[in-house]
Amino acid sequence: MKVENQADVGIVKELLNYLVEEEDEIIREITEKTCSIIENNAPSRRWQVDQIIKVLTLAGKYINDESICCLLQLIAATPEIQAYSILKMFSALEQNMMQEALAKVTLWCIGEFGHLMHTGDVRLDKDAVFKVINGLLEQKCSKGVKAYILNSCIKLYSRFEGNIPQVNAIFNRLAKDTDVDIQQRAFEYSNIVKSTRLTLAQKKGLLEEIPVSRISANIFNSRPVDIGGEVKAAPQREVVQLTFGGA
């Protein structure tokens, strides 16, 4: 059955309304059922993105990793909705910065498809993006969100030909983080940016878009970058693989 008429769409709307009224365990169950209905009965991919963003906004902490990965795979596999998805997610995040899952998904999309921020109907200013990123850091976001911030920033550096001074500022800030893993990641990414041994083209090669098949629900556990010795393409690509979850 496809969600093709107002009655079917109304079912999803009604379920979304329950997400703001019920207790935790009930919300968790409703969230899973809502996501399942959306994923299995969406009349279009854009509609599916819109509805999952609503779930992320209302009950992000209850949405499971499988639904999030389904959304990321959908966006990665559908170029015609990538710019649209960035704008919709960013607009939602500006108003709901405490929703961690929404923050992670938005940061992932900005990192992967940041080069689309000024195409077609999308006009997303870089300064606005970094204002939100710094806002997330100011509110003492989790280790998982910080990991996504780092990955998003290193990818934006590549997408915009390395001309983003805000990236270095964020790397410097997180290199002093209280979490050792975040410190190390920030230091490694900063070294990539500052490296004179790598051309910009080589850096962009290390930070290419992630194939749909590699989008997974694993916890933040990618390998560190070794830029002190010979550059090895495969291991360094692994370090920018965005994985979902985290502390």
Phi-psi region of 48 (alpha: psi -120 to 50; beta: other; left: phi over 0): alpha
The CA distance from 205 to 139, in Å, is 33
The CA distance from 173 to 183, in Å, is 9
**For residue 154, pLDDT beyond 70:** yes
- pLDDT confidence band for 210 (50 / 70 / 90): low
pLDDT for position 122: 62
Q: For residues 183 and 22, which has the higher predicted lDDT (pLDDT)?
A: 183
pLDDT for position 67: 86
**For residue 66, pLDDT beyond 90:** no
**For residue 206, pLDDT beyond 70:** no
- Among 201, 2, 240, smallest CA distance to 111 is for 240
- Among 71, 52, 124, 118, smallest CA distance to 94 is for 124
pLDDT for position 148: 92
Question: Quick check: 68 and 59 in contact, CB under 8 A?
Answer: no
Most confident of 22-26, 45-49, 220-224: 45-49
Please compute the mean of the pLDDT values over residues 117-127 and round it to a whole number: 72
Sign of CA dihedral 202, 159, 174, 93: negative
Longest dimension (CA), the chain: 61
pTM for this model (two decimals): 0.77
- pLDDT confidence band for 196 (50 / 70 / 90): low
pLDDT for position 158: 74
